[in-house]
């Protein structure tokens, strides 16, 4: 991304590649004005000064034609200094003007701050071959931060200026500290992995990243240089002496919690794998369901919102009543995405026949009938003054169809049908809905509502025809371009292919699938592995309204739905395995006591604000469990 204001006025020269900032003995400093420059045909050295610290930035081409960059921090003073909060600008061109621009000239930037073996790999948003990698050669990267994410600058269509955070360092007088990385091209993830290993990087991985207590896990560290002699640690405790170019370690999870496998090698170098163990997935879902039914349902007789499933604030341990507990926010309306909680309760009732869940569901049915007008116009708020939002319709229709599957009451089939017809009435066939419940056609057909079923099938096919025709050039919606506009297109095309057998729809899905895959990385962490890049959901749905990368955010599970359906359509089992991995990783948004979090804000900082936390709002994250129950349990 050019740092000259030409692409975004707020990304100006202060964000030039390789410039940066740091804290020296508690004082914030920057390096941005050269005090010396030396250049030749294949080498450039630029010297900066900040207090007693000189920063020597060296760029040169190596024998393979790849670019080496080093940042040498030299203490030229007479006393010791403490360097902290180092941030080096790496403004990768990861932003979202419109679908066409993204397809032709933007990248998805996948970051792994894995210590001495950190890396970045940028994939083309088009999914085509040809990416850019950055791998560590000296020093360690222990995090990253994002700048320019306020509502006045980046907002929802700008991922932000990415800045890598090297390890903090104390320097004695005359001592230096070097950060060095190699920038190289790679065709795809497999090519990048091979090239990274061949250039000395230790690549870490696991056969799964979220697992149940009692399951086994294998972590692997692979290198192509001299044998890795060192120790393997689990949560800081030594568990094995290791040696070899490829180290694999298999163990059974004995207890729940985060599990960090750290390889310490060549003296004090470190890299790691991040995993999470839960006690039992079924128990986790059951506790979450009971938390919703017992603590997230609004109860106030006489209030039209009575029976709604609303936001819960885990910090105050209380319901967040929109407009009463805090300012009124559309992303905390009593309708909208929170319909997911009711679908979860219904699916869990189908599994357990727990009457407490059915009682909560019946209250919610009464609430939804007030949320909809008699003609099935579906609002976001009970006073019917909120936005007539296209996304609401398939979610409420999904709820009605799920209630039919739960109770056998055919009125719910008619409600689902009416809601989907209202969707078409208001938004025609060209709105990219999330979660179109195509199974409604089959349910209507099986129950003798043939005319209604045929009408829905015609609507579904017309939607698919639009998605097929548009291909990768999606219309902008609430966000200009995002994973959750590609995934619904792929999912719907696959659903219609599975329903009709028309190869056109499979071809359309396969054309768009690489764009969806480009959003997911392969970093060795349950937060990141194949989890789609998303970067605004913590602001719009979180308590603290922090912009920045959300790993995971539950809509990343949509990629899992697409991969699961693609596996069914083609028999390509690797996509089913990827789907399972995505569904499982999203379960980190739930705790053992049944609480949920709408997102995990992953960077170290966003606009200088400390991040890397689960947002306290249990808001809309239960779609992750809904998709697990619908698509994940049959190959658990």
* pLDDT, tens digit (0-9, with 9 covering 90-100), for 106-161: 999 999 999 999 999 999 999 999 999 999 999 999 999 999 998 777 789 999 99
Distance between CA atoms of residues 585 and 578, nearest Å: 11
Residue 279: partners with Cβ closer than 8 Å, 6 or more residues away: 212, 213, 256, 592
Is pTM beyond 0.95 here? yes
Does residue 628 register a pLDDT over 60? Answer: yes
The encoded tokens of residue 224 equal 């192509």
Q: For residue 529, give the nearest of 553, 551, 548 by alpha carbon.
A: 551
**Residue showing tokens 């569901």:** 361
Does residue 258 register a pLDDT over 60? Answer: yes
Q: How many CA atoms lie within 13 A of 38 on its CB side?
A: 8
The encoded tokens of residue 491 equal 């999912």
For the domain covering 211-278, report its CATH number. 2.60.40.2950
CA angle 38, 42, 47 (to 5 degrees): 25
Mean pLDDT, residues 218-234 taken together: 91
Distance between CA atoms of residues 119 and 525, nearest Å: 13
Mean pLDDT, residues 219-242 taken together: 93
* pLDDT, tens digit (0-9, with 9 covering 90-100), for 29-45: 999 999 999 999 889 99
Distance between CA atoms of residues 253 and 207, nearest Å: 13
- Of 227 and 257, more confident: 257
Long-range own/partner contacts, residues 226-229 (CB < 8 A, 24 or more apart): 228/202, 228/263, 228/265, 228/266, 229/265, 229/266
Residues of the chain with CATH 2.60.40.2950: 211-278
* pLDDT, tens digit (0-9, with 9 covering 90-100), for 304-337: 999 999 999 999 999 999 999 878 999 999 999 9
Confidence (pLDDT) at 39: 93
* Percent of the chain whose predicted confidence (pLDDT) is above 70: 100
* pLDDT, tens digit (0-9, with 9 covering 90-100), for 384-416: 887 899 999 999 999 999 999 999 999 999 999
* pLDDT, tens digit (0-9, with 9 covering 90-100), for 41-76: 889 999 999 989 999 999 999 999 999 999 999 999
- Measured in whole angstroms, how far is the alpha carbon of residue 8 from the centre of its chain? 24
**Residue showing tokens 């995505």:** 582
Confidence (pLDDT) at 226: 75
End-to-end CA distance of the chain: 42
CATH topology of domain 13-201: Beta-galactosidase; Chain A, domain 5 (2.70.98)
Q: Where are the beta strands (DSSP E) in 17-66?
A: 20-24, 27-31, 36-39, 43-50, 53-61
**Three-state SS for 108?**
strand
Helix-helix angle 573-586:557-570, to 10 degrees: 160
Task: Compute φ and ψ for 144, nearest 5 degrees.
Answer: -150, 160
Encode 140-149: b = buried (16+ Cβ within 10 Å), e = exposed.
bbbbbbbbbb
Confidence (pLDDT) at 152: 77
**Three-state SS for 22?**
strand
Polymer length of the chain: 636
The encoded tokens of residue 554 equal 């539950």
* Percent of the chain whose predicted confidence (pLDDT) is above 90: 93
* pLDDT, tens digit (0-9, with 9 covering 90-100), for 420-432: 999 999 999 999 9
Other C-beta atoms closer than 10 Å to the C-beta of 574 total 9
Q: Largest Cα–Cα distance of the chain, in whole Å?
A: 88
Residues of the chain with CATH 2.70.98.40: 13-201
The strand pair at 605-606 and 141-147 is best described as parallel
Q: How many CA atoms lie within 13 A of 520 on its CB side?
A: 31
Does residue 635 register a pLDDT over 80? Answer: no
The answer to whether the CB of 371 falls within 8 A of the CB of 382 is: yes
Question: In which band, very low, low, confident or very high, does the pLDDT at 227 lie, cut at 50, 70 and 90?
Answer: confident
Confidence (pLDDT) at 636: 46
The encoded tokens of residue 154 equal 């980046």
The strand pair at 107-112 and 43-50 is best described as unpaired
Distance between CA atoms of residues 249 and 503, nearest Å: 44
C-alpha to C-alpha distances, 240 to 64, 115, 237, 249, 429, nearest whole angstrom:
37, 20, 9, 9, 59
The answer to whether the CB of 595 falls within 8 A of the CB of 618 is: yes
Other C-beta atoms closer than 10 Å to the C-beta of 205 total 17
Q: For residue 580, give the nearest of 532, 615, 631 by alpha carbon.
A: 631
Residue 472: partners with Cβ closer than 8 Å, 6 or more residues away: 99, 103, 126, 511, 512, 515
Question: In which band, very low, low, confident or very high, does the pLDDT at 2 lie, cut at 50, 70 and 90?
Answer: confident
The encoded tokens of residue 469 equal 């025709």
* pLDDT, tens digit (0-9, with 9 covering 90-100), for 149-168: 987 777 899 999 999 999 99
The encoded tokens of residue 119 equal 């890396």
Residue 587: partners with Cβ closer than 8 Å, 6 or more residues away: 210, 278, 281, 284, 624, 625, 628
Write down the H helix ranges in 476-621. 483-500, 503-518, 537-541, 557-570, 573-586
């Amino acid at each position: 991304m050019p740092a000259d204001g030409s692409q975004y006025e707020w990304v100006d020269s202060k964000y030039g590649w390789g410039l940066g900032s740091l804290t020296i003995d508690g004082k914030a400093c920057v390096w941005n004005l050269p005090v010396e420059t030396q250049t030749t045909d294949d080498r450039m050295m630029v010297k900066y000064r900040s207090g007693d610290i000189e920063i020597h930035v060296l760029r040169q081409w190596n024998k393979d034609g790849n670019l080496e960059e080093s940042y040498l921090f030299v203490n030229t003073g007479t006393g010791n200094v403490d360097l902290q909060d180092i941030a080096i600008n790496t403004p990768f061109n990861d932003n979202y003007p419109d679908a066409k621009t993204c397809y032709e000239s933007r990248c998805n930037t996948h970051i792994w701050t894995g210590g001495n073996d950190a890396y970045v790999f940028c994939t083309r948003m088009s999914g085509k071959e040809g990416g850019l990698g950055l791998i560590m050669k000296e020093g360690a990267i222990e995090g990253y931060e994002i700048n320019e994410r306020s509502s006045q600058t980046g907002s929802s269509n700008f991922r932000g200026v990415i800045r890598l955070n090297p390890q903090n360092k104390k320097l004695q007088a005359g001592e230096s500290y070097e950060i060095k990385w190699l920038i190289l091209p790679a065709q795809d993830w497999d090519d990048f992995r091979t090239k990274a290993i061949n250039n000395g990087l230790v690549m870490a991985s696991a056969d799964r990243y979220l697992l149940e207590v009692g399951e086994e896990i294998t972590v692997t560290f692979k290198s192509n240089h001299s044998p890795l002699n060192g120790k393997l640690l689990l949560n800081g405790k030594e568990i094995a002496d290791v040696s070899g170019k490829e180290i694999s370690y298999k163990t059974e999870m004995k207890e729940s919690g985060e599990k960090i496998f750290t390889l310490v090698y060549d003296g004090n170098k470190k890299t790691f794998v991040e995993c999470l163990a839960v006690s039992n997935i079924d128990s986790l879902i059951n506790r979450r369901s009971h938390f919703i039914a017992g603590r997230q349902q609004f109860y106030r007789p006489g209030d039209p919102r009575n029976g709604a499933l609303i936001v819960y604030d885990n910090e105050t341990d209380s319901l967040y009543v929109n407009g009463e507990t805090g300012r009124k926010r559309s992303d905390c309306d009593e309708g909208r995405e929170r319909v997911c909680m009711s679908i979860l309760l219904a699916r869990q009732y189908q599994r357990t026949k727990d009457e407490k869940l059915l009682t909560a569901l019946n209250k919610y049915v009464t609430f939804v009938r007030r949320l909809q007008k008699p003609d099935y116009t579906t609002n976001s708020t009970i006073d019917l003054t909120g936005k007539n939002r296209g996304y609401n319709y398939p979610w409420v229709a999904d709820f009605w169809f799920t209630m039919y599957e739960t109770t056998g009451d055919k009125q719910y089939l008619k409600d689902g049908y009416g809601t989907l017809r209202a969707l078409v009435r208001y938004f025609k066939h060209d709105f990219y809905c999330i979660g179109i419940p195509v199974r409604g056609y089959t349910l209507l057909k099986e129950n003798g509502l043939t005319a209604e079923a045929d009408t829905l099938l015609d609507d579904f096919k017309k939607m698919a025809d639009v998605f097929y025709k548009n291909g990768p050039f999606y219309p902008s919606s609430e966000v200009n371009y995002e994973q959750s506009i590609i995934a619904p297109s792929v999912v719907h095309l696959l659903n219609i292919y599975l329903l009709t057998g028309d190869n056109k729809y499979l071809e359309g899905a396969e054309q768009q699938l690489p764009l969806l895959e480009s959003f997911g990385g392969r970093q060795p962490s349950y937060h990141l592995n194949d989890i789609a890049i998303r970067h605004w959901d913590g602001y719009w749905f979180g308590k603290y309204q922090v912009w920045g990368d959300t790993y995971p955010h539950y809509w990343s599970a949509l990629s899992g739905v697409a991969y699961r359906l693609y596996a069914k359509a083609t028999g390509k089992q690797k996509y089913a395995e990827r789907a399972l991995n995505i569904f499982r990783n999203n379960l980190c948004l739930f705790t053992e006591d049944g609480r949920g979090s709408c997102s995990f804000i992953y960077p170290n900082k966003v606009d200088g604000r400390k991040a890397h936390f689960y947002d306290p709002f249990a808001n809309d994250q239960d779609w992750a469990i809904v998709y697990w129950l619908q698509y994940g349990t049959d190959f658990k």
